[in-house]
Structures are given as structure tokens and as C-alpha cells.
Amino acid sequence: MKALVLSGGTGTRLRPFTYSTAKQLLPVANKSVLQHCLENIRECGIIEVGIVVGDHGEQIAQFIGDGGRFGLNITYIRQEEPLGLAHCIALATDFLGSEDFVMYLGDNVLADGIEEHAEEFRARRPDATVLVSAVDDPRAYGVAELAPDGTVGRLTEKPQEPRSNLAVIGVYFFTAAIHASVAAISPSARGELEVTDAIQHAIEAGGTVTVQRYRGYWKDTGNPEDLLECNRELLSRLETTVEGEVDEETTIEGSVVIAADAKVSRSQLRGPLVIGSGSVVSDSIIGPDVSVGENCVLNGARVAESILLEGVTAHSIPDLRRSIVGRFADLSVADHAQPCRLIVGDHARAEVTP
């Protein structure tokens, strides 16, 4: 089995970060969303991975490389413009060949892995298997309607009147039979080759399409709120690991991860939280639910429920909450005691005044 990871798209809902960073490289618990995907794939015993990339392709290739550090062999496949998920399959035809494959959306986090689902697909080998999860409002998703025998009777993309609450989430398993269905469909009203249309074609052609319900934690990290929620969930799973330097005046509560070469002094650390390598924290109260990236400098800062990317500098921040701060941003607050929230991109300079 091979894997096809989709890492294109413009990520408009995650601006300003996606002006300079691929959305799949944004971190949760100090690890990029794409890295979480690749680790799940490797746990399934899959080695050969194709990554479909768009405008940020060079950045993704620089971060992932040839895949060796993840135990993978990576092939990059360029998609010039976002023309749909099924279009990605068409572009990857030569890479995929006649093998079964898992298609994984690179901005989705499935925190409990997909290994058991891969094993079930390998054992049964239907033409396609879609992972689904019950959601409150399925109108924003592809929706699976089940036939009486439990197979998929129909898939509908973003229906205004859903006939099921089973949302198709970001992982699909296919045999090579899907290629004929991809070749047979036409672009949808929004100009894209929809994977739901390809799967529906397979059903109507007599193929077997099954569902597997994902009962672990799943999140499409498509906007800042989802990114913060996912960060909070993954931090809650960490166990305390202190490899950096912590002085005797610092107190630690809860699960805290401090990477090597980080330094913390005269501070309160309230887990769950993670502090990246090379970061320096002094006279601060950090946490809960905070990810501090590598090489950050926090002095006199109070931060909770936030993601600080690499190289952030924050001085005299009395109460920063539910914030996402881009790489190498510089923050300061002038005589301001009220809680504040910031969503600022890379290399920004932000000063909050009363």
C-alpha cells in the first residue's frame, strides 16, 4: 500500500499565517500538522508516500526532505492550481500505479492514528473505504448515506439538506479501481473534480464502498479556532519531560515538556504546555494549553491557551489568551492590564495600548 498526502490549497481561512507558510506546516503541540499525518502513515507500515503540493511546495519539500527522518520515501507531485481531490488522484496515477493506497488530507489531525482502519481495509479490500465521523452540522462536509447492508449508498458533497450526520473526514482507502471512476467524472459546479463524485461513480458502477467510523479525536485544522482546539487536545496527551534548564525559583504544575537547550527562570509553568528548543522564558506565567516554539524569548509574559511559533519575542505581556502568533513576531503591551487576544502573522510587530 502507498499513501497520497494532499498538501496544496491556499488556506485562506488561516490567513495571515498562510501568506508565508503552508497551512499543513502550522504546528499543534510544537509539531506540524503534516508531521502528525506522516507519523500516522508510517505506523501503518506504509513507506512510499506521494505528497501533492501547490504554491508552498518548495517550503514543504525543504521541511520534509526525502522523508528519511520519518522512515519514509517521499515523492513530490505538483498541482498547479486547486482543482479538487480527485484531480490529485489523477495527477498521482503514475506514482500510485496498480497499488492500493490511502489518501490523507494533510491539514487533518487524527490523534489516535489510523492503523486499525488500514488493517481492516487490507483484510477486506473493498473498492473504497471512507472514514466518517458523526458531526452536529454536516453541511460543510461530504456526507455518507448508508445502505441497509451498511455499505455506502450515496455520497453528497456539502449538501444543504443532509440526509445523514456522517461526515466524510480526511482519510480514504482505495484500490486501483478508483482510477477508472476518476477518469469518468466531470468537474462539479465549482469547477473541481470531487472525490465524492468519483466514489459515487464507483458505487453506481457496482463497486463496493464501505465506511469505517473514526471514534478517536479528529480535527480539520482549517481555521484558528480549530488549530487552538487541536493544540489543546494534543497537549493534554503529553507526559512531563524536562530536558532543558529550569532554575529553583520556577514552579511546575501539570504536564510540561521542556526541550533541550531551553531555559526557564523565575517563572510559573502551568501544564499542559510545551517549550521548544532554544527558547528562553523568564519572570513569566505560561499555561495552561500553550505551545512555545523554538528560539522564543518571553520576559514578563503571561500566556494561556495559545500557540507561539518559532522566534517569537514577547516582553511585558500581562495577559495574552487564545492567541496565535507567527514566526519571529515581536509583541509588547504598554500599560495594559486587560486580557488581550492576538492573531498576527510572521515577522509582525504588535503593541497593545490601553
In the chain, % of residues over pLDDT 70 = 97
Query: 354: pLDDT confidence band, cut at 50, 70 and 90?
Result: low
Q: Compare 9 and 201 and report the one with higher pLDDT.
A: 201
pTM, entire model: 0.88
Q: Which residues pair with 291 in a beta bridge?
A: 274, 307
* The three three-digit cell numbers of residue 19, written as one number: 501568506
Q: 341: closest CA among 309, 300, 291, 307?
A: 307
Rg (CA), the chain: 22
Residue 313 parent element (H or E):
strand 313-321
For residue 335, the model assigns a pLDDT of 62
Neighbours of 121 (CB within 10 A): 24
Q: What is the mean pLDDT of residues 275-291?
A: 96
Model pLDDT, residue 82: 81
User: How far, in Å, are 272, 274, 302 from residue 259 at the CA level?
Assistant: 14, 8, 20
DSSP for 246-289, written as a single string = E-TT-EEES-EEE-TT-EEES-EEESSEEE-TT-EEES-EE-SS
Range 242-246, long-range pairs (CB < 8 A, 24+ positions): 244/275, 244/277
**Residue with grid cell 480526511, as numbered in its chain:** 170
Give the model confidence (pLDDT) of 67-90 as tens digits. 999 999 999 999 888 888 999 999
In the predicted structure, residue 188 carries a pLDDT above the cut 90: no
Share of the chain above pLDDT 90, in %: 60
- Is the pLDDT score of 96 beyond 90? yes
Average pLDDT score over residue span 27-51? 94
pLDDT per residue over 103-139, tens digit each? Answer: 999 889 999 999 999 999 999 999 999 998 888 888 8
Cβ atoms within 10 Å of 177's Cβ, excluding its own:
16
| Bond prior to 272 in cis (omega within 30° of 0) | yes
* pLDDT at residue 18, rounded to an integer: 72
Q: Give the span between the Cα atoms of 26 and 223, in whole angstroms.
A: 11
Does 142 have pLDDT greater than 90? no
